Amino acid sequence: MNLTPKEIVKFLDDYVIGQKDAKKIIAIALRNRYRRMKLEKSMQDDIMPKNILMIGSTGVGKTEIARRLSKMMGLPFIKVEASKYTEVGFVGRDVESMIRDLAMSAVNLVKSEFREKNSDKINEYIKDKIIKKLLPPLPTAASEEKKADYEKSYEKMAIKLANGDLDDLSIEIEITQSGFDAGANMPPDMAQMQESFIKIIGLTNKTIKKEMKVKDAKEALKNEASEKILDMESIKTEALRRAENEGIIFIDEIDKVAVSYGNSGRQDPSKEGVQRDLLPIVEGSSVTTKFGTIKTDHILFIAAGAFHISKPSDLIPELQGRFPLRVELNSLDEDALYQILTQPKNSLLKQYEALLKTENVELKFTDEAIRAIAKIAQSANEKMEDIGARRLHTVVERVIEDISFEANENSGKTIEITKELVEERLGNIVQDQDLARYIL
């Protein structure tokens, strides 16, 4: 991934409206990872990632930025919620499990790349196994003439298989079925114990015979072919290298583990304990996973939180220091909400238009109607809790509720959503604040 900061921002602009500062800081942080890998080894080790803390109300695009980054980058990436973790000693997930998640993500990423590179070999293995079921191999003592005939039949069968002519034939194939897989998030010592126990009771991989159609057999044999052809040790080594040097962990809801002095919040398994457990992970330590040990020194951490109840300063000072780059995301005004409805590649309105098109209903929104939807959403956010762009889902759904319900009766029609229709559907609700609280 060697996109320039401007290219990263341009990609994010297609999906996330505004928030230039956040996009810029993240783009620079990602580019710095690429720059670091170009340096000599001794310099690489000294350059630590500058972790980022994103602060902003719910629904302004923090998580959306992370979601889009994961699709764009092709780097080991996971998104976790800080509120899911508990302090070591309490029942629940410990923070080290996020590194095990990252290792699993890296292995899956590298495995899919290796599969793509070796797709010809994998397809050849599947083809050979299926054809040999349809044309049993000749005995070794067969004459040269018979062997030549077999080769011709094999080639003809291979062409038919490639064209899909054999897809509906039923064959009996042997599939290797794994007896039990140790969970990726299980601490390694427990996973090892589990594997030993599995061997003792004989739940190892079994070969089972199944009768299925050729087209299903092609899919069923993919895993077996991958295991036989791919070098799993090389995959694990490369995955661990990528996780250590290119891995990105997005920690959402970081404000939920901050403890404000006004409210100690001791009803949860110690929030401060979770912060203290996060410290060594973010600063740099070694974590054992089922694929090997990962050093977390060069993993980039992006944390995000609304900080409605608590403040960034309520995080323990040591953790604050591990997130040197801070960026505040702006609340969404009426104009931003209008842009969210119209500009992104798969905007909310485009999604509804596509959904109703499946029922042969053409849905059209006039510009005035879109402006009215944005205005009502902004008004609801001001009068009640500010939930950002998520308010648009509620408002738009309310506007087209009846149209969607009766879609099959309007097949072949074009329905235009006008400003009048929006006001008719939502006017009374917006004016009655108590009603709005329940509905919008």
Give CA 136 to chain center in angstroms. Answer: 44
Give 176's strand partners: 207
Element (H, E) at 302: strand 300-305
For residue range 376-397, what is the model confidence (pLDDT) as tens digits? 998 888 888 888 888 899 899 9
DSSP-derived letter for residue 344 is S
For the chain, the 3-state helix, strand and coil shares in percent, each to the nearest 5, are: 55, 15, 30
| Predicted pLDDT at 438 | 74
- Select, from the ranges 100-104, 116-120, 225-229, the one with the highest average predicted confidence (pLDDT): 100-104
In this structure, what token pair is assigned to residue 234?
């090389």
Those residues with Cβ within 8 angstroms of residue 298's Cβ, 6 or more apart along the chain or in another chain? 36, 48, 49, 244, 245, 247, 284
Amino acid (one-letter) located at 51? N
pLDDT of 186 > 70? The answer is no
Cβ-in-10-Å burial (0-12, 13-18, 19+) of 48 comes to: middle
Those residues with Cβ within 8 angstroms of residue 37's Cβ, 6 or more apart along the chain or in another chain? 44, 245, 246
For residue range 308-333, what is the model confidence (pLDDT) as tens digits? 888 888 888 999 999 999 999 988 88
Does residue 67 contact residue 83 with C-beta atoms inside 8 Å? Answer: no
Give which of 287, 276, 328 is closest to 305, Cα–Cα.
328
Those residues with Cβ within 8 angstroms of residue 97's Cβ, 6 or more apart along the chain or in another chain? 85, 185
Three-state SS for 325?
Answer: strand
In this structure, what token pair is assigned to residue 425?
């559907």
DSSP-derived letter for residue 286 is E
Percent of the chain predicted with pLDDT > 70:
90
Percent of the chain predicted with pLDDT > 90:
30
What is d(CA 437, CA 439) in angstroms, rounded to the nearest whole number? 6
- CB neighbours (10 Å) of residue 368? 13
| Predicted pLDDT at 180 | 47
DSSP-derived letter for residue 217 is H
Three-state SS for 326?
Answer: strand
**DSSP secondary structure string, 119-187?**
HHHHHHHHHHHHHHHHSPPPPTT--HHHHHHHHHHHHHHHHHHHHTTTTT-EEEEEEEE-S----TTS-
What is the total residue count of the chain? 440
- Tell me the C-alpha to C-alpha distance, in Å, between residue 342 and each of 7, 48, 60, 142, 236: 22, 40, 16, 71, 44
pLDDT of 300 > 90? The answer is yes
What is d(CA 127, CA 155) in angstroms, rounded to the nearest whole number? 11
- CB neighbours (10 Å) of residue 87? 19
Give 3 or 182, the one with higher predicted confidence.
3
Three-state SS for 415?
Answer: strand
Does residue 265 contact residue 271 with C-beta atoms inside 8 Å? Answer: yes
Those residues with Cβ within 8 angstroms of residue 348's Cβ, 6 or more apart along the chain or in another chain? 340, 341, 392, 393, 396
89: left (phi over 0), alpha (psi -120 to 50) or beta: left
pLDDT of 18 > 90? The answer is no
Choice among 42-56, 222-236, 237-251 with the minimum mean pLDDT: 222-236
DSSP-derived letter for residue 270 is -
Give which of 387, 380, 417 is closest to 401, Cα–Cα.
417
CA geometry: angle 341, 347, 350, nearest 5 deg: 100
For residue range 31-87, what is the model confidence (pLDDT) as tens digits? 898 899 899 988 988 898 899 999 988 888 888 888 888 778 788 999 999 888 888
